[in-house]
Amino acid sequence: MARKTLLFLALSISLTLSAQYYPTKSQWEGKSASQVGLKQSGIDDAVQFAMDHEYSGQKDLRLAILQSFSREPYHELQGPTKGRGGPAGMIIKDGFIVASWGDTKRVDMTFSVTKSYLSTTAGLAVDDGLISSVKDKVKDYVWDDTFEGEHNSKITWEHLLQQTSDWSGALFGLYDWADRPDREGKLDDWRYRELKEPGSSYKYNDVRVNVLSYSLLNVWRKPLPQVLKERIMDPIGASTTWRWYGYDNSWMTLDGQQMQVVSGGGHHGGGVFISTEDHARFGLLFARKGQWNNDQLISEEWTRMIQTSASAYESYGYMWWLNKGPRSWDGLPSHLYYAAGFGGNFIVVDEQNDLVIVTRWLEPSQIGEMVRKVYNAMD
C-alpha cells in the first residue's frame, strides 16, 4: 500500500511539472499581464522605462570597447565585434511572454553574459563526471604548465568559477595583471604585485575567465559551443543564429584537431552573439531549475551550486551575479540571480516566481529600477 502511495505521489509530481508551459521551437505563446497575475500598467511602465533608458555608449561597439578599456596596458581587440541594435527585451512569467520590446530576434554581442553560458558547460562537465568536484585542483585535469608553480597549482575549479583564483600568467598574449588594473599604481606595480591566496580575494578578470574556458576545453576535448548547442541550446528550441567566438589566436590542437578556445566575454571581442529570444529560453531553463519539459538538461544541484556566494564576495556565484552583498538591488528579493554584460545586457532569473527578465542595451545603472518596476506589478 505504501509503495502504491509513493508511486501515485511521484506520478502527481511528474504531471505537475509537465503541466508547466514551455515554448516549442516554432512558437512561444503570450499572455496578458493580468492573465498571469500581474498588473498591466506596472509591466507597461517597466517596458517604457527600459526603452527610455538606452545604453549611452557608442553603437559601434569597437569604439565602445576601446574607449571603455583605454586605461588597460596593451588592450586590443583580438576577436570579432558587431554593431549593436537598440533597446530590446522580454518579460517571461510562468513560461509565457507577457511583454517584449525592440527587435527580439536580432543577434547582438552580449559580453559578460557569456560567462553564465561558460559556467553552464562547467556544470555539464560536473554532471557527466568529467570533473569530479569543483573543489578539485585544476592542475589534476590540465597537466601543461598553465597551473604550474606554488601559486597556480593551488587553484580549484571553484576558484575559477567564482573569480577568486588570482591566477597569474598570460594566455593568448594577454596578461592577467593588465586586465582591469587597480586605480592606484603604475605598470610595474601591477606586474609585480603580491599574489593573493586562491579563494581569499575576488577580482573580475577576463584573462582568468578565458583560463577557465581553456581548461574546460581540455576536459571536454571538443569545442564548448558544440557542447552548449547539443546539450542546452538545441533541446530548449533556440534558433540557429547564435554564435560563440574566441580570438584570432586562441586556437589549439587537441587529439589532432584544431579547436578554438572561446572567450568568456567581449572585452577583447568575441564571446556569445545571440538574440533576446534565445537568451530568454536560456533564462527559462534556469528559472525551471534545469528542467525543460520532462528532461533534466542540467542538474538541479548545479542550479543551486551556481548560487553559492564566493566567500570573498557575497554578490558573486559561479559566474552568475547574486542579489546579495554590496552589489544587491535595493527592495528586491535576495533569491534573484542574474547574468550581466557590458552595455546593459541582463538575464534576470527568479525561480520562486517563475519569472525571467531579459534586457539589452539598458543603461547599466538603471537595471535595479527597471527590475523593481516589474516587481511592483506583482503587488
Percentage of the chain lying above the pLDDT 70 cut: 95
What pLDDT does residue 14 have?
46
Sign of CA dihedral 157, 160, 161, 166: positive
Mean pLDDT, residues 313-318 taken together: 98
Strand, helix or coil for residue 279: helix
Paired strand residues for 316: 321
Per-residue pLDDT tens for 199-248?
999 999 999 999 999 999 999 999 999 999 999 999 999 999 999 999 99
Q: Which helix (H) or strand (E) holds 247?
A: strand 243-254
Q: Are 272 and 114 in contact (CB under 8 A)?
A: yes
Which domains, from first to last, does the chain contain? 51-376 (3.40.710.10)
- Given a cut of 50, whether residue 91 has pLDDT beyond it is yes
Q: Are 345 and 329 in contact (CB under 8 A)?
A: no
Q: Are 279 and 217 in contact (CB under 8 A)?
A: no
Q: What is the mean pLDDT of the chain?
A: 94
Task: Cell numbers for 290, please give them.
Answer: 534545469
- Please give the model's pTM, rounded to 2 decimal places: 0.94
